[in-house]
Amino acid sequence: MKKIALILSGCGVYDGSEIHETTMAMLALSKNEVEYECFAPNKEQYHVINHLNGDVTNEKRNILVESARIARGKIKDIKELQVSGFSGLLLPGGFGAAKNLSNYAFKAEDFTVDEDIANIIKAFHTARKPIAALCIAPVLIAKVLGARVTIGNDMTTVDIIKSVGATHVNKEYHEIAVDEKNLIITNPCYMLADNIYQVSLGAEAAVGAMLGLMKK
C-alpha cells in the first residue's frame, strides 16, 4: 500500500503552504488512489501576513494548527513522522517553505533548513524513497541533498541553488525535473504557473513521476 507523507508549513501563500499547490498535490494523489498523511512543525510561524494587503500583523499562529485548515484536521506533529510508514515524501511550496521550514526567504545563499525537516529529507533519501518538491520547496532539497532540481527559471534562485552545490535545470510550469539517482522530482508550480489549472498540471506530473519511481 503506497502512502505519501505531505509536509505542510502553514495555510496561505505568503506565510505558509500555498493552498492551491497543496490541494492540487492532494488531488493528484487521491486520483491515483494513493493515501497521504499530513505533517507540520508544531511551532510558531515566522510571522503572520495579512493576505489582503500584504502587511505583517502582530498575530502569533502555530504552523501545525494553521496547516490543519488545509488538512481538514487530519494532521500530525512532524516529530511523529516515521519514514518506515511511507513510500515517499512531498513538499508543496508557498513562503512557508522559505520562512517556516527554512530561513531561505531571509538569508538567501546563507539559508539553513529546519533540523527536523532536514533529517526527514535525509531519511527518505537514505531509504531510497522518492521525494517530490513544488515551487520554492526544491531549494530545501538542493541544500540538504545537493540534488538536480528545478524551480522554473528565476535566476536569483537558480544561482543560490548552484551556490549550495546542487544542479538546476530550467523547466516550464507543466514540466518536472527528475533526478533518478537521488529519486527527486521537482516542479515550478506558482514560480511560473498563471492559474490553478496550470498548477494542477505540474502537481499531477510530479505525483505521476513520484509513483513511477516507487516501482524501481
* Interaction site with a second copy (CB under 8 A): 11-14, 16, 18-20, 23-24, 26-27, 30-31, 50-52, 54, 59, 64-66, 68-73, 75, 195-197, 200
Q: Which is nearer to a second copy, 3 or 162 (CB)?
A: 3
Q: Which is nearer to a second copy, 11 or 90 (CB)?
A: 11
CB of 161 to a second copy, least distance (A): 24
How far is residue 139's CA from residue 171's CA, in Å, rounded to a whole number? Answer: 15
Nearest to 7 by CA among 37, 32, 50: 37
Q: Which of 11, 38, 135, 189 is catalytic?
A: 135
CB of 69 to a second copy, least distance (A): 3
CB of 132 to a second copy, least distance (A): 17
Q: In a 10 Å sphere around its CB, with 0-12 CB exposed, 13-18 middle and 19+ buried, how is residue 194 labelled?
A: exposed
Q: Which is nearer to a second copy, 25 or 142 (CB)?
A: 25
| 3-state percent breakdown (helix, strand, coil) of the chain, nearest 5 | 40, 20, 40
Counting Cα atoms < 13 Å in the Cβ hemisphere of 81 gives 32
CB of 123 to a second copy, least distance (A): 24
Q: Is 135 a catalytic residue?
A: yes
127 close to 173: Cβ distance less than 8 angstroms? no
**Residues noted as catalytic:** 135
